[in-house]
Amino acid sequence: MFEVRGLKYKYPNAQDYAVDGIDFEIRQGEIFGFLGPSGAGKSTTQKILIKLLKDYQGEILYRGKKLTEYSDEFYQDIGVSFEMPISFSKLTAMENLEFFRRLYKETVDVEPLLRRVGLWEDRHKKTGEYSKGMKIRLNFVRALLNNPKMLFLDEPTNGIDPVNGKIMKDMIREFRAQGGTVFLTSHIMSDVDELCDRVAFIVNGKIREVDSPRNLKLKYGKRVVRVEYRENGNVVSKEFTMEEIKTPAFFELLKTKDIETLHSGETTLEDIFIKVTGVALHG
Amino acid sequence: MAKLGILVQGELDRLRKYNLFTATTVVLLLWVGMTWLLEAGEVTAFVPLILLMDSTMMSSLLVGATLFYEKKEHAINSILVTPVPETEYIAAKIIVSVFNSLLTFLALAATAYFLKGVTFNFALVAAAVVVITAFHALLGIWFAFFSKNFSSLLVNLMLYIIFLMLPPVLADLGIIGEKIARFFIILPPDAAGTMLQAGFATVPLGRLIFGFVYLLALSAALYKYIVLPGFNQYAMRETGV
């Protein structure tokens, strides 16, 4: 869907590049997570991909054609859900959607979408009276309004309660199942882990890792199984390598001891984020 | 220009919803009331003054106000990721400003004609209102680029009006000589005043033509070299860059 080669971007009057020679691709039909600490270049990259920032170096191809060769009609193809609420506060949700709906050639019926995200009953309320979570859900509906082929989602579940968060994640998965492609940035690593087919970690404008969450966990995790059992009133912990769990010693332990917990050494995406980005080092 | 009509309609709807239209209507009613109370002879002096204020200061303020609420609500982000070129977005703001100024013109012209029997060169004044408003709407957009908030925009516009209107006033008072005063037409408020005055009294044709050509040329330059290139930067600043 997108091919990015040698992308560099420096803001006017800035000394350093915000994005410093990155390469990656977003494949059609995948959910691509773009992760990194604040100021790493995530938002800048997203703004370049959605044609808000133009004076970049390098090459970006969208569906095989240079992004610079697309006119504003490019926006017929994409939907963008920003992190912050973006609606006109004195207009109702329906008035907001109606205004934006008229700017596109192809649009969808908003009723099923609004019902799904729980805003149908409040559709005639001014969005200024909406809670933050409601505004973010409306952003999401707004992004889907033009039946896009590609979605850019910036922190789509931030500030949303778990029930609505799950609904939105289901909708994102359904969008992918119907052939849609998603570029997702989020700080909620559990969401990224649940949703993304591949993730890229960006630090100081450079990409450090691009792979599937599974492969990253294999790469950064410990290939061990940790067993905790009780012995003489104390909790004892013992680690076995993947080779050792095939040995009689491991099975003997399981049979003879009072096992309390059994964990694999698989790491979390959050730990990988900290390792790759060095956020923990900076406190 | 396929989306221009939708954008203009959207701007008008929002002016209504954000009560900006109500505010301008209240001011307009005040002007109409004052026109009604004046003698016919005073109307020909009062109406161009009001039209000058409405097409300059009010136009800049109105367009600035819409930009500030869109900035506050991050709505520009959302418009920028639709198939709407920036040129149409800016054009919609100018068209709505001109529409509002023409409403003021129509209301004042109708009051002057029907209630006071005062006639003037309606077509010339309408044309002047269009050109002056377009220029000052662009000026309002430019001022919004570097004004921190609405109060700062108001102060900047006041400074613009005071500094550029002061020399002609000093000339009227005889403090500045006539030789120098002739060149004050290069000050946009003075050029605007001359253009409007031409509909009510005799103004040298050269000065009138210069006023129109000058403000049109300034508008084109302001749009091409300042507003259009600056808009993207302004919008990006608004998106947190």
**Per-residue pLDDT tens over the stretch A8-21:** 999 888 889 999 99
Do A159 and A235 belong together in one domain?
Answer: no
Interchain CB contact of B82 with A (< 8 Å): yes
| A132 inside 8 A of chain B by CB | no
- Contact yes or no for B83 and A142 at CB 8 A: no
State mean pLDDT over A151-172: 91
Examine residue A130 and state whether it is found in any structural domain, yes or no.
yes
What value of ipTM does the predicted structure carry? 0.83
Q: What CA–CA distance (Å, rounded) separates B136 from B118?
A: 28
Q: Does A73 touch chain B (CB under 8 A)?
A: yes
Indicate if A164 and A104 belong to the same structural domain.
yes
Please report residues of B whose CB lies closer than 8 A to that of A101.
Answer: none
Query: Which of A72, A90, A91 lies at the smallest CB-CB distance from B84?
Result: A72
Tally of domains within chain A: 2
Residue B89 confidence (pLDDT) above 80: yes
CA of B205 vs chain A CAs: smallest distance (Å): 44
- Considering CB atoms only, which of B73, B85, B240 is closest to A88? B73
Span B167-185, average pLDDT: 82
**Whether pLDDT at B17 is above 60:** yes
Q: Assess whether A228 and A208 both reside in one domain.
A: no
Task: Give a yes or no: residue A273 inside a domain.
Answer: no
Q: Does any domain span residue A276? A: no
Q: Are residues A188 and A258 in the same domain?
A: no
Chain B residues inside the 8 Å CB shell of A53: 236, 241
Q: Are residues A247 and A211 in the same domain?
A: no
- From B14, B73, B82, residue closest to A75, measured CB to CB: B82
Domain co-membership, A136 together with A258:
no
Residue A15 lies in a domain: yes
Q: Is B225 touching A (CB cutoff 8 A)?
A: no
Q: Among residues A179, A199, A215, which one ends one of the domains?
A: A215
Domain tally, chain B: 1
pLDDT of residue B76: 84
Residue B20, chain A, CB below 8 Å: the answer is: no
Distance (Å) from the alpha carbon of B28 to chain A's nearest alpha carbon: 23
Q: What is residue B144's predicted lDDT score, i.e. its pLDDT? A: 92
In this complex, is the C-beta atom of A124 within 8 Å of any C-beta atom belonging to chain B?
A: no
- Give me the mean pLDDT over the B177-200 stretch: 89
CB contact under 8 A, A53 and B241: yes
Nearest CA in chain A to B4: A103
User: How confident is the model at residue B238, as a pLDDT?
Assistant: 59
Interface touch B17/A91, C-beta < 8 Å: yes
What are A224's two structure tokens?
Answer: 């061990």
Contacts 24+ apart (CB under 8 A), B185-189: B185/B210, B185/B211, B185/B214, B186/B214, B188/B56, B188/B135, B188/B136, B188/B139, B188/B164, B188/B215, B188/B218, B189/B52, B189/B56, B189/B161, B189/B164, B189/B165
How far CA A137 is from CA of A124, A153, B73, B123, in Å, comes to 15, 12, 16, 51
DSSP letters spanning chain A: -EEEEEEEE--TT-SS-SEEEEEEEE-TT-EEEEE--TTSSHHHHHHHHTTS----EEEEEETTEEGGG--GGGGGTEEEE-SS--S-TTSBHHHHHHHHHTTSSS---HHHHHHHTT-GGGTTSBGGGS-HHHHHHHHHHHHHTT--SEEEEESTTTT--HHHHHHHHHHHHHHHHTT-EEEEE-S-HHHHHHH-SEEEEEETTEEEEEE-HHHHHHHHS--EEEEEEEETTEEEEEEEETTGGGSHHHHHHHHHSEEEEEEE-PPPHHHHHHHHH-TTTT-
Tell me if A86 and B17 make a contact (CB, 8 A cut-off): no
Residue B155 — very low, low, confident or very high, per pLDDT cuts 50/70/90?
Answer: very high
pLDDT at B20: 86
- Substitution target from B78, B86, B90, B241 for chain A, most A beta carbons within 10 A: B78
Cα of B87 to nearest chain A Cα, Å: 11
Q: Which long-range contacts (CB under 8 A, 24 or more apart) does A70-77 make?
A: A72/B82, A72/B83, A72/B84, A72/B85, A73/B83, A74/B83, A75/A51, A75/A146, A75/B81, A75/B82, A75/B83, A75/B84, A76/A104, A76/A105, A76/A106, A76/A146, A76/B83, A77/A148, A77/A149, A77/A150
pLDDT at A195: 92
Structural domain contains residue A274? no
Do residues A199 and A244 both lie within one domain? Answer: no
Residues A126 and A55 in one domain: yes
Does residue A281 sit within a domain?
no
A52:B235 CB<8 A: yes
A271 within some domain = no
Percent of chain B surpassing pLDDT 70: 98
Residue with the bigger pLDDT between A28 and B179: it is A28
Judged on CB neighbours under 10 Å (0-12, 13-18, 19+), A69 is exposed
Question: CA end-to-end span of chain A, whole Å?
Answer: 37
Is residue A122 within 8 Å of residue A130, measured between CB atoms?
yes
The residue among A215, A235, A250 that closes a domain is A215
Q: Nearest chain A Cα to B85, which residue?
A: A72
Residue-level pLDDT at A122: 95
Residues of the domain holding B91 = 4-238
Neighbour tally for A122: CB within 10 Å: 18
Same-domain status, A35 and A126: yes
Range name among A20-34, A161-175, A210-224, B219-233 with the lowest pLDDT average: A210-224
Residues of A within 8 A of B85 (CB-CB) are 72
Which residues does chain B have within 8 Å of residue A52's beta carbon, measured at their own beta carbons?
Answer: 80-81, 235-236, 239
Q: What CATH number should be reported for the domain holding residue A165?
A: 3.40.50.300
pLDDT recorded at residue B181: 82
**Looking at the structure, do residues A105 and A51 belong to the same domain, yes or no?**
yes
Looking at every residue in chain A, the average pLDDT score rounds to 89
Contacts of B15 in chain A (CB under 8 A): none
Whole domain around residue A84: which residue ranges? 2-215
pLDDT averaged over chain B?
A: 90
Residue A103 is predicted with a pLDDT of 93
Q: How many CB atoms lie within 10 A of CB A168?
A: 21
A103 CA to chain B: closest CA distance, Å? 6
* B87 interfaces chain A, CB cutoff of 8 Å: no
